[in-house]
Structure 1
Amino acid sequence: MDSLTQIALGSAVCVAVMGRRTAVWKSALVGAVAGTLPDLDALIDHGDAISNMVLHRAESHALFFLTLAAPVFAWLVARGRDFMRWWLALWLVLVTHPLLDTMTVYGTQLLQPFSSYPFGVGSVFIIDPAYTLPLIIGVAAAWRCRDLARGLRWNMVGLALSTAYLGWSVLAQQHVEQRARASLSEQGVSAQRVLVTPAPLQTLLWRVVALPEDPADPKFHEAYVSVLDGQSPVQWEAHARGSDLLIEHAASAPVARLTAFSHGFVKGAIAPDGQLRITDLRMGQEPHYVFSFDLGLPDAVGRAPATQVSARP
């Protein structure tokens, strides 16, 4: 999720756990800082654009390493007072960061160093005011309310509402996926995998991408489905996937890494300058995507660092 959301979540969790044991401003500030720490890995340059993408949300988002870090941060903050409570608060702040990130489609490697599998539910967009605003309002109420007990209750209400919204997003995603799969079956389209992600900033309109069952099939299908559509038929559009290029270069390191990270939701093409271009289909829409990479000329893929031709906003 975006930095503001992670700051708000960290503050809300820390305020909820610390309660009356410390000043609300202090628990909110400590929670905001700790809630931001895992994303500092974005400042690390791993040598090329694809490595920077697939190694973001890796060790710094691993539940194992964050659990080890929690008592260290608690010792720095507690200064001998309420150490166990600070330990619990900071552990929850640290681990809820990657758990929330897992609700987006990007890919979060929760189980490092034991597994590099990128988990991604994909039921919320990276920025969603309906999730973030209850957290901000709850923390602000706890901070400013003269009645501390009432303020802390507001903070808990904010956490409850934001968590309930995540639950709603999963239910809406499952509903849309069922409709999409039924529509594909009715139209005789055989899909190996179906990706359902929300359009920006909400959870009513969803983008659906269907990969063909045959890896050599040159097309993938894309549609938009709203939870308000009722029984309206799903309108699918077929787009070129560049399956011949993906098969030809499947063994090259950059293609293999991005294919594994995106769970196969990639397409290949030849860029105007003749370079092989590989694109992550999960974020964006045809033909505009957040993550596209030029890998060099087709007969020299992997010899030079991949370069990103689109920027993460």
Structure 2
Amino acid sequence: MDSLSQIALGSAVAIGVMGRRTAVWKAATWGAIAGTLPDLDVVIDHGDALLNMVLHRAESHALFWLTLFAPLLAWIVSRVHREGPLFRHWWLALWLVLITHPLLDAMTVYGTQLLLPFTNHPFGVGSMFIIDPAYTLPLVVGVVAALRMKDAARGLRWNAVGLVLSTAYLAWSVLAQEHVEQQARTSLREQGISAEQMLVTPAPFQTLLWRVVALPDDPADPHFHEAYVSLFDGPEPVRFTAHDRGTKLMATHGQAAPISRLAAFAGGFVKLSTTPDGQLRITDLRMGQEPDYVFNFHLGPLHAVGSEPTKQVSERPLVGPALRWIGRRMWGLDLPPPWKSRSP
């Protein structure tokens, strides 16, 4: 999730655990700091754009390592504020802040390696977009209330309500995702499309409009299928559009290290294509929409794939038309997506 959400969650959790045992501003401040720490891995440059992607949310987001780090951070905080008797409370508070960060990240589709060093599997529920005001706002309001209200008990109640509402929203997102997936699978069967894997993720900033990507059962099938589904759509079948996924290129180059690495990280939701200048390109189908995706990587010329560091090329539709379309389509209006022109 975005930094503001993680800061707000960290502050809210720390305030909730510490309560009146320490000053609210102390709990909020250290909660915000601990809620930010796991994302500092973004400053590490592995010398390769694709590696930077798949190694983000790795050790710094692993529950095992964060659990080991929590008592050290709690000891530092209790020493700084001369609150030695509160060490165990700080330990619990900061441990919860540290582990809720990757757990919240795992609600997005990116891929969070929660169980390192035991497995590097990238967990991703995919029911939340990386930025969603409906999740973050209750947390911010609760934390601000706890910091500013003269009645401490009332402020702590506001903070608790913010945590309850934001957590309930996460649960709602999973239920909505499951509903859309069932609807999409029914439509695929009715249209005679056999799908081995399906990805259901929300369009930006909300959980009413969902993007569905289906991969075929047949590995030789050259297409993947994409659709948008609103919770307010009528009973009509979901309308899927077929797009090329580069199966011939995958058959030839799929064993190359950068391709197999991203394919494993993305759960197979990738496509291969060539650029006008003869570069092989791999695209993560999970984040974006056809034809514009955040994570495209140039892998070098076809005869030398993987011989040089990968380069990331991000694409996105024009922001204004895209947001206006989402704002209308999420209420069930049957509108074609405006993904025709890219912004520079």
- TM-score interval, smaller chain: over 0.9
8 Å CA contact 2:58–2:116 kept in 1: the answer is yes
Find the counterpart in structure 2 of residue 71 from structure 1.
71
Q: Distance in 2 between matches of 1:230 and 1:311?
A: 32
Which residue identity does 1:304 align to in structure 2? E
Find the counterpart in structure 2 of residue 10 from structure 1.
10
Question: TM-score, normalization: structure 2?
Answer: 0.90
Aligned partner (choices 95, 98, 101) of residue 99 of structure 2:
95
Secondary structure of 1:117's counterpart equals coil
8 Å CA contact 2:146–2:158 kept in 1: the answer is yes
Cα deviation for residue 9 of structure 1 reads 0.2
Question: TM-score, normalization: structure 1?
Answer: 0.99
Which residue identity does 1:185 align to in structure 2? R
The answer on 1:262 being equivalent to 2:266 is yes
Where do residues 160-199 of structure 1 align in structure 2 (5 Å cutoff)? 160-199=164-203
Secondary structure of 1:207's counterpart equals strand
Aligned partner (choices 111, 122, 126) of residue 122 of structure 1:
126
Where do residues 212-291 of structure 1 align in structure 2 (5 Å cutoff)? 212-291=216-295
Cα deviation for residue 142 of structure 1 reads 0.5
8 Å CA contact 2:293–2:315 kept in 1: the answer is no
Q: Distance in 1 between matches of 2:285 and 2:15?
A: 39
Query: Number of residue pairs matched?
Result: 313
Unaligned runs of 5+ in 1: none
8 Å CA contact 2:126–2:200 kept in 1: the answer is yes
8 Å CA contact 2:194–2:217 kept in 1: the answer is yes
The answer on 1:109 being equivalent to 2:128 is no
Q: Distance in 2 between matches of 1:268 and 1:54?
A: 18
Find the counterpart in structure 2 of residue 36 from structure 1.
36
Q: Distance in 1 between matches of 2:128 and 2:259?
A: 27
Deviating runs (4+, > 2 A) in structure 1? none
The answer on 1:150 being equivalent to 2:117 is no
Q: Distance in 2 between matches of 1:32 and 1:183?
A: 44
The answer on 1:52 being equivalent to 2:52 is yes
Cα deviation for residue 233 of structure 1 reads 2.1
Unaligned runs of 5+ in 2: 320-344
Secondary structure of 1:296's counterpart equals strand
User: Once superposed, what is the RMSD of the aligned Cα atoms?
Assistant: 1.1
Secondary structure of 2:268's counterpart equals coil
Q: Relative to structure 2, which stretch is displaced further, 278-287 or 221-230? A: 221-230
Cα deviation for residue 311 of structure 1 reads 7.1
Q: Deviations over 1:113-157 (max 9, x none)?
A: 110000000000000000000000000000001100000000000
Which residue identity does 1:283 align to in structure 2? M
